[in-house]
Amino acid sequence: MAKNQNLLQVENLELHFRTTNGVVQAVDGVSFALENHSSVVVLGESGCGKTSFAKAILRLLPRNVHKYSGKVIFEGKDVMTFTDEDFRRNVRWVGMSMVPQAALNSLNPVMRIGDQVAEPAMIHHSMDRDEAWSVASRMVQHVGVPSDFLRRYPFELSGGMRQRAAIAMALVTLPSLIILDEPTSALDLLTQANIMNVLKRIKEEFGTSYILITHDIATSSELAENVAVMYAGQIVEVSDARRFFTEPLHPYSQKLMASVPRVRGGTEPEFITGTPPSLLNPPTGCRFKDRCMQRFEKCDEEPPVIDADGILVKCWLYGEE
């Protein structure tokens, strides 16, 4: 790991929200690292804090933030110390950008596709409109949108085309990291496969790194080099894809993998009993313990992150004793 400089390193990141019911600990002490030119899939069920995690990295915060702390080291700089204005100028879009969830609805309905795709280039690379449009035109063709679509409005495009436009927008400033939040969950099967192909090609050509946030394990394997599993605001396992998809370590990851229905191969999928804990008042100790089949006394204490042969896992089962 040391040979390759980390593109992104997150240390003990916390993001808590204030709500009328109390403090929601959406991201609670997350640490992980992403190497240059690589990709990580963040897997988790709805409500586990994975979107908040993405937003915490990009500092796209709502107003009711209660606590936002930790370290985000991006390209060697601790960007958490940046002021909001510095962050906007030098990090967001320039260094890393995001394809938001439901990109279908994230496009401005009254702006032409071309203006929307070109806008980040005009603002961050101070290009004039014509120049930015020509860059935009190159980018949309790259993701498989005919360049005459630039003159159209979002409602004139199909779901897959809009999703591609949103990807082109994130790509137009050539950032080194793109955060993809459920980029294909609203799309059809063949369109999904197409978008995944596009993302793979971009990765090869531009060397872009990805953080892919999703609950769709099967599709995520298309883009996975590393896998991080999130549960109740915490990362419980970080593994490389090859090992994760064959033998996950954390009991939650094992259950999650076992719940995936497969087209090929005939194992019956299982389900996980119980529901994830509320993030308002997460249980002490291991947060998965109430649903875990392998629970023992130690689980009442918070498990440390244990290095089991290069796989980081937050579970007492792998503690050296």
CB of residue 18 to another protein, shortest distance in Å:
20
**Consecutive H or E run containing 19:** strand 6-19
**Consecutive H or E run containing 168:** helix 159-171
Alpha carbon of residue 270 to chain centroid: 26
CB of residue 142 to another protein, shortest distance in Å:
15
Position 77 contacts another protein (CB under 8 A)? no
Pairing, β 96-99 against β 177-181: parallel
CB of residue 194 to another protein, shortest distance in Å:
5
Stretch that binds another protein, among 95-103, 125-133, 158-166, 308-316 (CB under 8 A): 158-166
Q: How far apart (Å, rounded) are the C-alpha atoms in residues 76 and 237?
A: 24
Structure tokens at 51: 């979107």
CB of residue 193 to another protein, shortest distance in Å:
4
Stretch that binds another protein, among 111-119, 172-180, 242-250, 301-309 (CB under 8 A): 242-250
Position 235 contacts another protein (CB under 8 A)? no
Position 9 contacts another protein (CB under 8 A)? no
- SS3 category, 41: strand
Residues 197-216 that bind another protein (CB under 8 A): 197, 200-201, 215-216
Backbone angles phi, psi at 94, to 5 degrees: -70, -50
Binding residue for another protein, selected from 81, 86, 207, 218, defined by CB under 8 A:
218
Question: 158-190: buried (b, 16+ CB within 10 Å) or exposed (e) per residue?
Answer: eebbbbbbbbbbbbbbebbbbbbbbbbebbeee
Structure tokens at 90: 């030098």
CB of residue 206 to another protein, shortest distance in Å:
16
Alpha carbon of residue 236 to chain centroid: 15
Rg (the chain; Cα; Å): 20
Q: How far apart (Å, rounded) are the C-alpha atoms in residues 20 and 179?
A: 30
Closer CB to another protein, 241 or 305, in the complex: 241
Q: How many residues bind another protein (CB under 8 A)?
A: 49
Binding residue for another protein, selected from 46, 76, 130, 155, defined by CB under 8 A:
46
Q: How far apart (Å, rounded) are the C-alpha atoms in residues 103 and 147?
A: 19
Closer CB to another protein, 72 or 217, in the complex: 217
CB of residue 72 to another protein, shortest distance in Å:
26
Structure tokens at 60: 């796209």
Residues 247-306 that bind another protein (CB under 8 A): 255-257, 259-265, 268-272, 275
Closer CB to another protein, 69 or 185, in the complex: 185
Position 131 contacts another protein (CB under 8 A)? no
Sheet of 96-99, strands arranged across:
96-99, 177-181, 209-214, 39-43, 226-231, 234-240, 311-313, 306-308
Cβ contact 228:31 at 8 Å: no
- SS3 category, 156: helix
Cβ contact 10:70 at 8 Å: yes
Position 246 contacts another protein (CB under 8 A)? yes
Position 309 contacts another protein (CB under 8 A)? no
Structure tokens at 133: 């449009």
Closer CB to another protein, 18 or 215, in the complex: 215
Position 61 contacts another protein (CB under 8 A)? no
Binding map of another protein across residues 174-193, x = CB under 8 A, - = no contact: --------------xxxxxx
Closer CB to another protein, 45 or 115, in the complex: 45
Binding site for another protein (CB under 8 A): 39, 45-46, 158-160, 188-194, 196-197, 200-201, 215-225, 241-242, 244-246, 255-257, 259-265, 268-272, 275
